Amino acid sequence: MQNKKVAVILSGCGVFDGAEIYESTLVLLALDQAQVEYECLAPNIDQMHVINHLTGEEMPEKRNVLIEAARLARGQIKDLAEANPAEYSALIFPGGFGAAKNLSNFATQGADLSIQPDVLNFTQAIHQAGKPIGLICIAPAMAPKLIGPGTQCTIGTDAGVAQAIEQMGGQHVACEVGSFHIDEARKVVSTPAYMLAGRISEAAEGIQKLVQAVIKMM
């Protein structure tokens, strides 16, 4: 796997307003165990809002997605706008509401979502170069706008999100928590993780398989 590096795009830090911490860590662990180099990236933008993860209530403060994501990456992270897609062999998006609030506005706009420009440009460059993309948990909701109409993906079995994916021109495929789906034609791999997982070991099973599938396609 020499000279191959995977980009991992984070959306903050914390399930309700950023990247899902377990999912992100499981992705990094799976890559490291496979001896594959990775680099964490995040857009240098304000979060949509800040959630108190103890109470679930919104807090009256502002936080930056890149600075928060740096917590998850132990400070080893790059501004997405400064990253060169040509330097990476694949891309993986962990889930968490940050994918639907910060990387896109799916949380408020549903099927009418738009993607944050740095995220869109980087992802499309990766895709157009024929490199694989992994999407976890709620992140596949961005797939039709990121990759294009006809893109196959899974968020598990959530009917509402599946319907939104179909409305955007995507093809949703129902999937069990420990499994994953591959759109072979577009090199897109997705797994439900915490859209269905009741425990960390369940999320780990699907994420491990997704990472292995992405590496195989590199």
* Residues marked as catalytic: 137
CA neighbor of 134 nearest in space, from 14, 27, 77, 214:
214
Rounded CA-CA distance 67/38 in Å is 19
* Burial (CB count within 10 angstroms: exposed 0-12, middle 13-18, buried 19+), residue 86: exposed
By the 8 A CB rule, do 18 and 50 touch?
no
By the 8 A CB rule, do 204 and 20 touch?
no
E strand or H helix at 189, and its extent?
Answer: strand 188-191
Rounded CA-CA distance 84/39 in Å is 12
Amino acid at 35: Q
